[in-house]
Structure 1
């Protein structure tokens, strides 16, 4: 039994599928779990989170509401510490790889370091002036470094995220 659909019905179905696919790929990957750029943007805050003194909680008395809240905060801190140790190991390894590579690879690491990791961060324009390149080159270096760091941190899932994002970019309709 064949079902007859009008052109407008087919268009609505296709538009709905495309919209749902875009929402799914962005919410699943880029905007949530594996957002390396967001991690780098908040790097100094995450490092600072680990350096704030926490009150001690004693195990010999029943826990009050306040102490239960402290235990929760300590749990966040432990997870943050483990993640930041992992991130710092990845960044150290990435630095080694870049420093052993071409001038462009070395610059790529320096761009990430100077944009995100150090006190007194530089702007993309300042970096472009420093390296005597166009600001677009700095943006390309940044994007490539973030992609490479994503792969180092999240493995094959990062590659899947990149392919989904790029597939969706190809199918965008101009406004």
Structure 2
């Protein structure tokens, strides 16, 4: 039996509308949670592969200079896809470096000793040329390794907000 919309009472229409709104809100909340999860995962990956990505970006300038006025620079040869990928990496890494600068300022200006430690943990674990293990970092700060792991996760969440913006916040 098929029901037509004009056959529904006002109360039934209101209930239907409430269910639809509830379903849409639930879907949007799930999308926000997934975005946050992916953003934090991507932030951790960016940090983990920071040096490899920076190495990739350093090669772009050298390659452009080397290819200038050569066979590979010819207009009919299309290396644009490769160069687009390299350009995206350069742009992304510039954004990461900028986010790290902002995060450093935020952490250094914090009243919380724990938050001030967050930036240093990220630097020691991922960014510095001589990267340190969680245990080395824990020893340096005279903290338990689980505290360092927790601080690192919090730092990645904070850095994700700087990298990905307002979409990282659950309540908007």
Instruction: Provide the TM-score with structure 2 as the length reference.
Output: 0.68
**2:76 pairs with 49, 53, 63, which one?**
63
Return the alpha-carbon distance in structure 2 between the equivalents of residues 62 and 133 of structure 1.
58
Residue 116 (1) aligns with residue 129 (2): no
- CA gap 1:33/1:78 in 2 versus in 1, 3 angstroms: farther
Q: CA deviation at 1:83?
A: 1.4
On the 8 A contact 1:115/1:121 being kept in 2, the answer is yes
Residue 95 (1) aligns with residue 104 (2): yes
- CA gap 1:33/1:116 in 2 versus in 1, 3 angstroms: closer
Residue segments in structure 1 that go unaligned for 5+ positions in a row: 2-20, 164-175
Match of 2:9 in 1: none
Which has a greater percent of helix? Answer: 2
- Output one character per residue of 1:112-151: Cα deviation in whole Å (capped at 9) or x when no partner: 0111111110000100111111001000110000000111
**2:140 pairs with 110, 127, 130, which one?**
130
**1:140 pairs with 150, 155, 167, which one?**
150
Which runs of structure 2 are paired with 1:9-24 in the superposition (5 Å)? none
- CA gap 1:60/1:107 in 2 versus in 1, 3 angstroms: closer
- CA gap 1:111/1:62 in 2 versus in 1, 3 angstroms: closer
Q: RMSD in angstroms over aligned alpha carbons?
A: 2.9
Return the alpha-carbon distance in structure 2 between the equivalents of residues 150 and 36 of structure 1.
6
Residue 73 (1) aligns with residue 82 (2): yes
Match of 1:11 in 2: none
Return the alpha-carbon distance in structure 1 between the equivalents of residues 115 and 38 of structure 2.
27
Q: CA deviation at 1:88?
A: 0.9
Higher Cα radius of gyration: 2
How many residues were matched structurally? 136
On the 8 A contact 2:53/2:93 being kept in 1, the answer is yes
Instruction: Provide the TM-score with structure 1 as the length reference.
Output: 0.67
Match of 1:39 in 2: 46
